Structure 1
């Protein structure tokens, strides 16, 4: 049995500039952090040739093409697994809460499926393949930061280039700064969930509007400032100021 544990994430600055509609015109910049809430994927050999997938629903099918869950279906195709397998997912947090759950699921599933085959992929390859499934195969109108932070973990600065290159810079923080940030940040569950696809599709289509593009450009500058702030071991209130400016933008 293989069990993968993959972190959810929060973004400090730059969210939205990881969408292709933006970074195809100007490099996107995002600072994200993994958090200690996780998606767990269990993969095990099945006693027959069928495929069992258990998430909020349970499916038992004979072929990969019959699977309703789109990410599971495409991940099995990508990894070349055709049957005789059982996949179960459990999460600390419900889907639709804005913490990148679908990408966390994709990265964790790929990691588990490759481990099931005796293969160990790098964080870069896991992130790239997760993007391929969600963006290229399933045509989801999403960005790339979620897949990359789920694969790399920690706190990272990402740069998204027009040629699809993604620069990844982990930000090493002193224990004292991490502790101060943890004491100064609060994360609330509002009780409401939503599908990000429709929101991001609208954002994609509105990106090139002058006012929106200007605000997104402002967010890239805030991401750069956030990176420097963390590297300079700034006070939590400096981070709070960046979060406030990002919210207004």
Structure 2
């Protein structure tokens, strides 16, 4: 039997960072995001060798070992290793099957699209299908979060796992004790289409290590630094404003809130922006952009630009000349999915 799964990557539209502890535990976090038609993929089948096999196809990295609890090696294989360990211990009564796990993603690690967390969701979804585990969207997302943050010790928030599990436009609320509420939005068709036509997604060519940025952000909250805390409260409020703009179809307000949110986010930690990002932002505004932000923790990866659809091609040409890559992308209403091949 072969099982395949995929989970969509996401764009963080507003409120990103307020889903990270300790802010979300102390004050509650609000995030507005949307999934796109780029995915993390996982395949599980029986191992012909009788071993446990792990293959990160895009990183060209493999490990073949006796079926047992994995020692986490770090690097590209650690996500599959962590999911294998947790599923075996929590759902298979400690049994370690001889299976082959293969993964790949449409975005590189450090892209700012939630690629690592989305991969964990894809893996959990594949395991749930392979072993017939009764897991809904909330359970998949929470399990993926627990594996990534507790088992693997990777820093980050909660929005990526829930976005990948649910899909679509979602307004999310994050509270203490891992309480999460996902509110799917019913976006009018014309708003959906106009926003897609207005969006330019640009990869800077530089991946970044989000953990360092997130650690700085969390430290600023713990130490009560006023500028960082004020920025976080502003981001939380702007997630609510963006939700309202989307529901009303007010795309001028959408752009205004996105830009305001980006200005606030830059105050959360020094490493969120840098000289190259500032230069790209200035260039984009010279060629029709009305709003910009870096997706994810910041520091590099993907940048989003919102413009009038009539200005989209001049903006794409200007950005393409800077050494990065413009990605054609569309929103998707579907979350993680899996299927069997006999």
TM-score (norm 2): 0.70
**C-alpha contact 1:111 1:120 (8 A) present in aligned 2:** no
> 1:247 aligns to what?
262
Alignment partners' CA distance in 1, 2:132 and 2:178: 29
> 2:158 aligns to what?
144
Alignment partners' CA distance in 2, 1:174 and 1:112: 32
**C-alpha contact 2:3 2:130 (8 A) present in aligned 1:** yes
Alignment partners' CA distance in 2, 1:24 and 1:210: 18
Can you list the C-alpha shifts for 1:212-243, whole angstroms capped at 9, x where unaligned?
01110000000010111111222x22211111
> 1:58 aligns to what?
62
When structure 1 is superposed on structure 2, of 59-68 and 102-111 the one drifting more is: 59-68
When structure 1 is superposed on structure 2, of 59-68 and 144-153 the one drifting more is: 59-68
Can you list the C-alpha shifts for 1:67-108, whole angstroms capped at 9, x where unaligned?
523222221122116131011112112111110011000000
1:210 to 189, 208, 226: 226
> 1:28 aligns to what?
29
- Displacement of 1:139 in angstroms is 2.2
When structure 1 is superposed on structure 2, of 45-54 and 65-74 the one drifting more is: 65-74
> 1:171 aligns to what?
185
Can you list the C-alpha shifts for 1:4-29, whole angstroms capped at 9, x where unaligned?
01100111100000001101210100
Alignment partners' CA distance in 1, 2:99 and 2:177: 37
SS in 1 for 2:170: strand
Map 1:54-133 → 2, pairs under 5 A: 54-55=55-56, 56=59, 57-62=61-66, 63-66=68-71, 68=73, 69-80=77-88, 82-133=96-147
> 1:45 aligns to what?
46
TM-score (norm 1): 0.96
Alignment partners' CA distance in 1, 2:219 and 2:154: 13
Q: What is the number of equivalent residue pairs in this alignment?
A: 248
**C-alpha contact 1:28 1:161 (8 A) present in aligned 2:** yes
User: Which of structures 1 and 2 has the bigger CA Rg?
Assistant: 2
Map 1:189-204 → 2, pairs under 5 A: 189-204=203-218
Task: Please tell me whether residue 232 in structure 1 is matched to residue 248 in structure 2.
Answer: yes
**C-alpha contact 1:51 1:64 (8 A) present in aligned 2:** no
**C-alpha contact 2:72 2:82 (8 A) present in aligned 1:** no
**C-alpha contact 2:188 2:247 (8 A) present in aligned 1:** no
Alignment partners' CA distance in 2, 1:196 and 1:65: 25
> 2:323 aligns to what?
none
Can you list the C-alpha shifts for 1:36-91, whole angstroms capped at 9, x where unaligned?
11111111111233111111111111133245232222211221161310111121
**C-alpha contact 2:40 2:103 (8 A) present in aligned 1:** yes
